[in-house]
Chain A
Amino acid sequence: MGHEETVYEALDSAHGGEGQWAFGTGFDEPLAGVDTTVPDGIDPADLGAYCLMLGDDALVLAQRLTQWVTAAPELEEEVAVANIALDLLGQARLLLARAGSVGVLGRSRDTATASIPDEDALAYFRDADEFRCTGLVAAPNGDFGQTMVRLLAAATTRLAVFARLRDSRDPVLAAIAAKGVAELTYHRDHAARWVLRLGDGTPESHRRAQAGADAVWPLLADAFTATDVEQRLVGAGVAADPAGTREEVVGVLTQVLDRATLRVPAWPADAPPRGRLGLHGAELAVLLAELQGLAREHPAATW
């Protein structure tokens, strides 16, 4: 019997021969067997809202990166971008499952069919105003240079937060973060090498990388401002204070741009949170239409 045959037989047997929800990410519950009890002193609603913020950042950036598949400048880079998106999708899946485990589903559970896992109901059946991602990840890709500058900025800010979350009082969040740190370090290094190559490359690549940085920097305006939810969770030892990551993020981004012979754009003044509160531009709705359209058109479709 061929290996593939064994695999499919096992899958079929494990699910009693019933079809699979067609648009989900896999066959298993990502937190199966994990103790999802919320420790004392942590508000489950706040924890769920925070997991949505971190999960939505990863889901939306994964979808943005996936838009490069079939259009990347070279085959190796297409594989790279798809792999980075896959890591982020995995992080999103764990975080949305954690959010679901503490009861954030609300409207999306009413819309989605009961057979769909929590994390898929959250990914496919929430509208744009229910997403909690930042403008940094929701913004369109721009050209490849801008995409790499954005990936550098997003990986750097996320890595700084995840490094701190390894000590979160929520053990599930701490475990997801500890796993993500190694992945995000790899993403950050990959993006940094591209920014270096483009910035210190030809006049045209330099011009494009600089324009990319100029377009991305204003998106960092609310990167260091905490929402009320985050402030309460920082107090409870659960969340990382974004303000506390500023020095590290500024240091890393300045180092890379300097070395890439790019001018560091003016740092935007701190702005109140927008995306974290569900305030988004129209570009997120367009992205979600692409991400969610098929699943909503065929609710609970199986294959």
Chain B
Amino acid sequence: MVTTPTSTADPRGVAESVTDPELPMVTLADLGVLRDVRTEDDGTVVVEITPTYSGCPAMGVMRADLVHALHRAGFPDVDVRTVLAPAWSTDWISAEGRRKLAAGGIAPPGPAPERTTGPVPLSLGPTRRTASCPLCGSPDTVEQSEFSATACKALRRCRACGEPFEHVKEI
């Protein structure tokens, strides 16, 4: 059935305003998770999203939030599709997204590492990953745990101000 959108809102703008369920300070667009928004001839709004990690449990909520936001904006027919390739990279997080993460107390990622399958980097010292403290700005921070409250973050501590903070892992 062909339905006519009852809204004059811009569906892209609506989709771009939806925030991440786990990192509510940033939008899905800021994260690079929102890949495309377009309107088909029959009025259906097609939204494409890509998962950050294979097991990211937030995908279902992201999908539901997008549908809900577009419904509320007057688009009754919404089709949220998953795209798997190319695989998401933290390099896709926008400058604005990085600024918002830091303002929210989460250290943004550095450049993603080159993909290699070579030997394991064998060192017992801290990993080469570095991050400045989002609270006081000091670069003197140490990794506490390679994993944290969500799949996409590691846990660090600032040696200068003593505060722990989360760091979006580079992938």
A102 to B85, CA, bound (A): 20
Which residues from B are CB-within-8-Å of A10? 61, 64-65, 67-68
- For chain B, residues 96 to 119, give those with C-beta under 8 angstroms from any C-beta of chain A: 115-117, 119
- How many residues on chain A are close to B (CB under 8 Å)? 62
Which residues from A are CB-within-8-Å of B115? 181-182, 185
Q: A33-B79, A90-B54 are in contact. Are A28 and B117 (CB under 8 A)?
A: no
- For chain A, residues 38 to 76, give those with C-beta under 8 angstroms from any C-beta of chain B: 76
Instruction: Name the segment of A134-142, A169-177, A228-236 touching the other chain.
Output: A169-177
Is the beta-carbon distance between A87 and B53 smaller than 8 angstroms? Answer: yes
A 223-262 to B, binary, CB cutoff 8 A, 1 in contact else 0: 0000000000000000000000000100110011001000
Partner of B119, one of A30, A31, A252: A252
Is the beta-carbon distance between B80 and A87 smaller than 8 angstroms? Answer: no
Residue of A nearest to B87 (CB): A179
| Residue A188, interface by CB 8 Å | yes
Q: How far is the CB of B35 from chain A (nearest CB, A)?
A: 11
Is the beta-carbon distance between A259 and B122 smaller than 8 angstroms? Answer: yes
Partner of B147, one of A27, A83, A163: A83
A188 to B122, CA, bound (A): 11
B 146-159 to A, binary, CB cutoff 8 A, 1 in contact else 0: 11110100010000
A93 to B85, CA, bound (A): 16
- How many residues on chain B are close to A (CB under 8 Å)? 47
Partner of A88, one of B55, B119, B120: B55
Is the beta-carbon distance between A255 and B117 smaller than 8 angstroms? Answer: no
Q: A11-B60, A14-B67, A27-B63 are in contact. Are A189 and B83 (CB under 8 A)?
A: no
Known: A90-B51, A179-B84. 5 other contacts (CB 8 A): A13-B67, A26-B59, A76-B144, A185-B117, A251-B119
The chain A residues found within 8 Å of chain B, CB to CB, are 3, 6-7, 9-11, 13-15, 25-34, 76, 79-80, 82-84, 86-91, 93-94, 159-160, 163, 171-172, 174-176, 178-183, 185-186, 188-190, 192-193, 196-197, 248, 251-252, 255-256, 259
Can you list 15 A-B contacts with CB-CB less than 8 angstroms, sorted by A residue number? Answer: A3-B24, A11-B64, A13-B71, A26-B59, A27-B61, A28-B63, A34-B82, A80-B145, A86-B53, A87-B54, A87-B151, A93-B54, A159-B117, A179-B54, A186-B169
